[in-house]
């Protein structure tokens, strides 16, 4: 009898897991279909309103002058033997000083860290990379090339190529997600972790499934699962949707923030208008659902989490929940009136908070190799 009950219990557990998995993927594909329908309606509406300009967009042939600003650093390249990929990065500060490595988000590239490159080069060797599929770094064609393991390994390889065995790691948005994962898997290589507007991946997945409002704000995750169509929607009307991400009242930099200049915006359009650039950026999203839940969760480095109060894509409640997965000092700062694009929106406040965090505990000397 006991054996029968045991087998019945195992059967019910397995059945519950299968139902949960089925429900998970049904939700994902159902929401993808809904987002696709909404996007098609938007496309038809654009064609009706702007029949001659909807399908007009152009590749920017010449980089704007701001991308060659020598005050930001030197443009460098590294080819990683294991992956065969070439990465582009901008570096400043003396070689041999402690490494501060910056990871950008979507739809950005190294340029999003321009204010921090200038600020921290006095005390650090600052390096802002173009992550795989972005900017002047190589763009792998297969979607599988953008899984979490490959993205985390990229960071490890770059740190080691630069001649370091540890760094102060700074990430925003998708770069923040990779920074969390790197700190989880390589704790000995992260002296301090600084994340901007990016929740711990387990916090995000748990919270989104329990809060429809966050699921709605994350609708782009589902829409971006589609092949080719998202690239089209981001390109029409000469990349109008991309421009709106940074400049619109709902998602762009706040009224009190440091707005993008016309040249800054053109820098983003130059990077993202290149052939294949949007596909590389979107492939990060096309692997996310198969990469969760995480098998490891805990971060053992000191963590600073900076959060823009007006983030249009991520609910603030997730920020505090990140504390559950941190086994070290955790500091959270909510920046009033700031948007998702935090390090560009409020660079002075962000830089001051980072300096304060860096001086805590062992002080700056702890960063040296």
First-to-final CA distance of the chain: 63
In this structure, what token pair is assigned to residue 143? 């979607």
Task: Name the pairing type of β-strands 86-92 and 125-129.
Answer: antiparallel
Tally of CA atoms within 13 A in the half-sphere of 245 that contains its CB: 16
* DSSP, residue by residue, 257-269: S-PPPHHHHHHHH
Q: Which residues are catalytic?
A: 173, 285, 340
Q: How far apart are CA 304 and CA 295, in angstroms?
A: 23
Give Rg (Cα) of the chain: 21
User: What residues have CB less than 8 Å from 259, skipping those under 6 apart?
Assistant: 247, 253
Which residue from 261, 263, 151 is spatially nearest to 201, judged by alpha carbons? 151
């Amino acid at each position: 009898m006991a054996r029968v009950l045991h087998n019945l219990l195992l059967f019910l557990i397995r059945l519950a897991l299968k139902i949960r998995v089925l429900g998970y993927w049904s939700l994902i594909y159902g929401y993808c279909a809904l987002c696709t329908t909404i996007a098609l309606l938007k496309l038809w509406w654009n064609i009706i309103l702007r029949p001659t300009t909807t399908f007009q967009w152009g590749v920017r042939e010449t980089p704007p002058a701001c991308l060659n600003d020598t005050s930001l650093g030197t443009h460098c390249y590294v080819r990683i033997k294991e992956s065969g990929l070439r990465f582009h990065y901008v570096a400043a500060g003396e070689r041999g000083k402690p490494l501060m490595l910056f990871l950008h988000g979507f739809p950005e590239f190294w340029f999003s860290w321009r204010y921090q490159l200038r600020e921290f080069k006095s005390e650090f060797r600052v390096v802002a990379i173009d992550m795989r599929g972005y900017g002047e770094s190589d763009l792998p064609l297969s979607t599988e090339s953008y899984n979490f393991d490959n993205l985390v390994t990229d960071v490890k390889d770059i740190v080691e190529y630069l001649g370091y065995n540890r760094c102060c790691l700074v990430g925003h948005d998708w770069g923040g997600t990779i920074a969390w994962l790197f700190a989880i898997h390589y704790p000995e290589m992260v002296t301090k972790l600084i994340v901007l507007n990016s929740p711990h991946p387990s916090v995000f997945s748990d919270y989104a499934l329990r809060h429809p409002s966050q699921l709605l704000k994350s609708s782009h995750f589902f829409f971006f699962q589609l092949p080719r169509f998202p690239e089209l929607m981001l390109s029409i009307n000469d990349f109008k949707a991309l421009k709106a991400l940074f400049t619109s009242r709902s998602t762009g930099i706040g009224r009190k923030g440091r707005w993008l200049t016309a040249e800054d915006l053109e820098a983003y359009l130059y990077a993202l208008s290149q052939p294949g650039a949007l596909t590389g950026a979107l492939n990060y999203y096309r692997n996310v659902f198969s990469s969760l839940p995480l098998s490891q969760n805990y971060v053992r480095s000191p963590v600073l989490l900076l959060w823009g109060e007006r983030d249009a894509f991520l609910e603030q409640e997730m920020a505090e929940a990140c504390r559950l997965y941190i086994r070290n000092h955790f500091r959270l700062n909510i920046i009033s009136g700031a948007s998702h694009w935090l390090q560009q929106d409020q660079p002075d406040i962000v830089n001051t908070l980072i300096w304060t965090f860096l001086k805590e505990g062992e002080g700056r000397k702890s960063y040296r190799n």
